[in-house]
Amino acid sequence: MAPELMERRKKERSNELPELKNTEKGVVMRMAPYPSGPLHIGNARMAILNDEYVKRYGGKLYLVYDDTIGSSEKIPDMEAYNLIADGLKWLGVDYHGVFYKSDRLEIFYEWAERLIKIGGAYVCECSAEELRKNREKGIECKHRQQSIEENLEKWRKMLNGEYGEGEAILRIKTDMKHPNPAFRDRVLSRISKREHPRVGDRYHVWPLLEFSWAVDDHLLGITHVLRGKDLVMEDMMEECLWKLFGIDGPEFIHYGMLRVKEAKLSKSKSGKEVRSGMFSGWDDPRTWSLQSLKRRGIKPEAIRSFILSFGLSQSDIEVPAENLYAENRKLIDADTHRRMFVPDPVKIVIKNMPDIGDVELANHPKEALGKRKITVKNEIYIAGEDFEKFRGKEIRLKDLFNIILDKEAGFTSISNKEIPRIQWVSEPIDVEVVMVDGTIKKGYGERSILDFKPDDMVQFERFGFVRIDSVEERRVRVYFAHP
């Protein structure tokens, strides 16, 4: 075959995620969100990448709520389970099974005991500070020397509740001199007396991520694990555990850390604001949750292309939300009506205005989306910002005529001129725009905005795309999507 043909093929394949390795025996993957709140834009990467691969290989995807007891800053929230499921459904991520870590404690106890019996783990009674210090210096504590019997005895005491929080933990025996300090005899299980929203106070010994996953990745028959680069060490721990147990587990694939520039808030921080009432709820735009993006009129398909544009690279990236907005614009622009909206309105009266009666304006500059009629009086409203900026100058009221702008404006001519064109409102209704920073921008909009229904998208000319949220008698509330 001509070499050019092969070469060309090489050039054509592009922009797709790399192939998975070892897919002969099928593909089973899992997503493991922690239910402390709904999925946010950053979590979408985990969900979408998993979904893409499972769909490509015709595999299975499980949703496993990683709802162990967490920490004092990270607590499971009953409401979050449904919020997460809703978010996934909206994103178009399908899954084939749901599991809860909090249902599987007995399994982890059983495996922990097995590990102790083969001498792979020990119960340590050092304090957290002691443990940290020893880890730093590579010192083995006395508990490491305990016999298997002693460890089993202490483990039973842990399960029986004879220890308080922090008084005993189960640690894996790796190597206290391991070159990676993070790897030295990590903790597998610990005691927490906190109440769990699903299982209450039934359990007080909880596994840590690496231990519970070492067991479950194997038990659930996971073949490929897609996780952020922050969890590479957890891979090593899991592999280490599999080796001790003599079992095998999935392959790990990592992607770099993704940050959306505008979305700085962590889930737990947002949670605080939601609970305190500072935020309107989990769909407050400041949370950047999937729910909040939906409310702003961002389409799930836009999120998918946005996420997929990063591929599977291991570099850490910070992307402006502008990229997401560009995707959304492509999706909605062609069938989004245009309307006039003036924030911080200023009333002007037009002198010597010709009697032009009603005007008909196209709903879209290019697409055939119909027209609407507006009755123009000589009292109209323009945006406060435009008034300040152009006062005393000649401007054109878009689609109308030219005036010298002032409180009492003078009509000059009707023919189109190359002067600034601004939007205006004649028969005003109240419009409130919920902005991305949570503030509310008030202004007037044209009357026909009342005809929209919640979820409709509209572009306010020279202002931005918004999603209609509620329509009342003379008042409309919208959420700002993006410019």
Partner RNA sequence: GCUCCCGUAGUGUAGCGGCCAAUCAUGCCGGCCUUUCGAGCCGGCGACUCGGGUUCAAAUCCCGACGGGAGCACCA
State which of positions 296-325 bind RNA (CB under 7 A): 309-320, 322-323
Closest separation between CB of residue 424 and RNA, Å?
10
CB nearer to RNA: pick between 29 and 319:
319
> Shortest Cβ distance from residue 255 to RNA (Å)?
9
229 binds RNA, rule: CB under 7 A: yes
Least distance CB 229 / RNA (angstroms) = 6
**Min. distance of Cβ 452 from RNA in angstroms?**
16
Smallest distance, RNA to C-beta of residue 49, A? 12
Interacting stretch for RNA, rule CB under 7 A, among 54-62, 195-203, 330-338, 431-439?
A: 330-338
403 binds RNA (CB under 7 A): no
The binder of RNA chosen from 199, 257, 331, 435 (CB under 7 A): 257
C-alpha 364: how far from chain center: 32
Per-residue three-class SS string for the chain: CCHHHHHHHHHHCCCCCCCCCCCCCCCEEEECCCCCCCCECCHHHHHHHHHHHHHHHCCEEEEEECCCCCCCCCCCCHHHHHHHHHHHHHHCCCCCCEEEHHHCHHHHHHHHHHHHHCCCEEEECCCHHHHHHHHHHCCCCHHHHCCHHHHHHHHHHHHCCCCCCCCCEEEECCCCCCCCHHHCCCEEEEECCCCECCCECCCCEEECHHHHHHHHHHHCCCCEEEEEHHHHHHHHHHHHHHHHHCCCCCEEEEECCEEECCCCCCHHHHHHHHHHCCCCCCCCHHHCEHHHHHHHCCCHHHHHHHHHCCCCCCCCEEECHHHHHHHHHHHHHHHCEEECEEECEEEEEEECCCCCCEEEEECCCCCCCCEEEEECCCEEEEEHHHHHHHCCCEEEECCCCEEECCCEEEEEECCCCCCCEECCECCEEEEEEECCCCCEEEEEEEHHHHHCCCCCEEEECCCEEEEEEEECCCEEEEEEEEC
Kindly state the smallest distance separating residue 344's Cβ from RNA, in Å. 13
**By CB under 7 A, what part of segment 37-96 binds RNA?**
66, 68-71, 73-74
Q: CB-side exposure of 421: number of CA atoms within 13 Å?
A: 12
Distance CA 224, CA 218 (A): 11
Q: Which of 326, 331, 346, 450 binds RNA (CB under 7 A)?
A: 326
Of the candidates 416, 451, 455, 470, which one interacts with RNA according to CB under 7 A?
416
344 is a site residue for RNA (CB under 7 A):
no
| Contact string 438-467 vs RNA (x = CB under 7 A) | ---------------------x-xx-----
Our CB check for RNA shows the closer of 161 and 320 to be 320
* Residue number, 51 or 235, with CB nearest to RNA: 235
Q: Which of 7, 19, 106, 358 binds RNA (CB under 7 A)?
A: 7
Which residue of 143, 296, 396, 467 would you call a contact of RNA, by CB under 7 A?
Answer: 396
Does 480 interact with RNA (rule: CB under 7 A)?
Answer: no
Does position 137 interact with RNA (CB under 7 A)? The reply is no
8 A C-beta contact, residue 351 and residue 410: yes
Q: How far is the CB of 281 from RNA (least distance, A)?
A: 23
Verify binding: residue 111, RNA, rule CB under 7 A.
no
Which tokens belong to 22? 């070892």
| Comparison of 257 and 346: residue with beta carbon closer to RNA | 257
**Which of residues 97 and 181 has its CB atom nearest to RNA in the complex?**
181
Q: Which stretch binds RNA (CB under 7 A): 126-134, 278-286, 287-295, 472-480?
A: 126-134
**Terminal Cα-to-Cα distance of the chain (whole angstroms):** 51
Cβ closest to RNA, residue 190 vs residue 218: 190
Among 52, 77, 216, 234, binds RNA (CB under 7 A): 234
Min dist. Cβ of residue 89 to RNA (A): 21
We find the least distance from the C-beta atom of residue 242 to RNA, in angstroms, to be 18
Residues 153-212 that bind RNA (CB under 7 A): 165-167, 169, 179-182, 184, 187, 190-192, 206, 208-209
Give yes or no for residue 352 binding RNA (CB under 7 A).
Answer: no
Closest to RNA by CB, 274 vs 324, is 324
